[in-house]
Amino acid sequence: MPKDRAPTRIQRKNRAAILEAALNVFSAHGYRGATVDQIAAEAGLSKPNLLYYFPSKEAIHTALLTGLLEVWLAPLHELNENGEPLEEILSYIRRKLEMSRDLPRESRLFANELVQGAPRIHDALSSDLKALVDEKTVILTRWMDQGKISRVHPYHLIFSIWALTQHYADFDVQVRAILGDEDPFEGAEPFVETLYRKLLTL
C-alpha cells in the first residue's frame, strides 16, 4: 500500500480485515499451508485487492507477528520490581492465562512460527524479547537474594510459566477432549497459582 499519505478509512478497514482473516488462516493451517487466495477469500477481497495492501504472504505474516510480539511482551513488562514479589509473579501468571483464554489464535500463530525456527521473528526474539527477559530475571534474582521468594533458576521459572499457561491455547483441542464440558480455565488458574505459590514461598 502506498505510504506517501495517510490511509483512508476504507484502507484502514481493509487492512484490518486482511490481518484478521490472515490470523484465522495462519492459525488453522500454519504458514506453509496458508495461501494468499485463502486469506483474500476469508477477508472478502479479491487477490489483487489484497496484494495492494501486502505484496506477499510473508509480508502479511510478518505484520501479524510484529503486532503479536508487542502483545505477547506486555504482561511481562507489567512485572513491577517495586511490588510484592509473589503477588507480582502470580499476577503475571494470571495475565498469561487470560491471554491463552482470550487470544488462542494468536498463541497458535506464535507457536507455529517458533516450531518452524522463527525465520520471520528470530531477530526480535534475540533482541527485544531477550532484553526484556534479562531485565526481569535481574529483578527475580534480586528478590531471591533479599529472601522474598525461594531461590529457583529465574530463566527456567519464566520458561515454565510460558509452557504452563500457553498450553491451554496451543493444545486447546486436546485439553477440551479430556475435560469434556468443563471450562479448562476455571480449574487452570487455581491449580497454577497453588503450584507457583508453593514453589516460591519460603
pLDDT tens string 113-158: 888 888 888 888 899 899 999 999 999 999 999 999 999 999 999 9
Please indicate, yes or no, whether residues 36 and 70 belong to a single structural domain of this protein. no
Per-residue pLDDT of 41-65, as tens digits, reads 999 999 999 999 999 999 999 999 8
Q: Are residues 68 and 163 in the same domain?
A: yes
19 and 71 inside one domain? no
Same domain as 68, residue 27 = no
62, 70, 72 from 18: Cα distances, Å = 13, 19, 21
In angstroms, the CA 75 to CA 92 distance is: 6
Same domain, 88 and 159: yes
pLDDT tens-place string over residues 64-80: 988 888 888 899 999 99
Specify whether the CB–CB gap between 72 and 111 falls below 8 A.
no
Q: What percent of the chain has pLDDT over 90?
A: 75
**3-state percent helix, strand, coil for the chain, nearest multiple of 5:** 80, 0, 20
**71 and 161 part of one domain:** yes
- Compute the C-alpha angle 100/106/54, nearest 5°: 170
The number of domains in the chain is 2
Query: Nine-digit cell at 129?
Result: 524479547
Q: Which residues contact 175 (CB under 8 A, 6 or more apart)?
A: 167, 168, 184
Tell me which residue range forms the domain holding 130. Answer: 64-200
pLDDT value of residue 67: 84
- Distance CA(109)–CA(100), nearest Å, equals 12
pLDDT of residue 101: 95
Q: What is the pLDDT of residue 79?
A: 96
Mean pLDDT for all residues in the chain:
93
Does one domain contain both 39 and 79? Answer: no
Q: In CATH, what number is assigned to the domain containing residue 132?
A: 1.10.357.10
Considering the entire predicted model, what is its pTM? 0.84
Same domain, 70 and 39: no
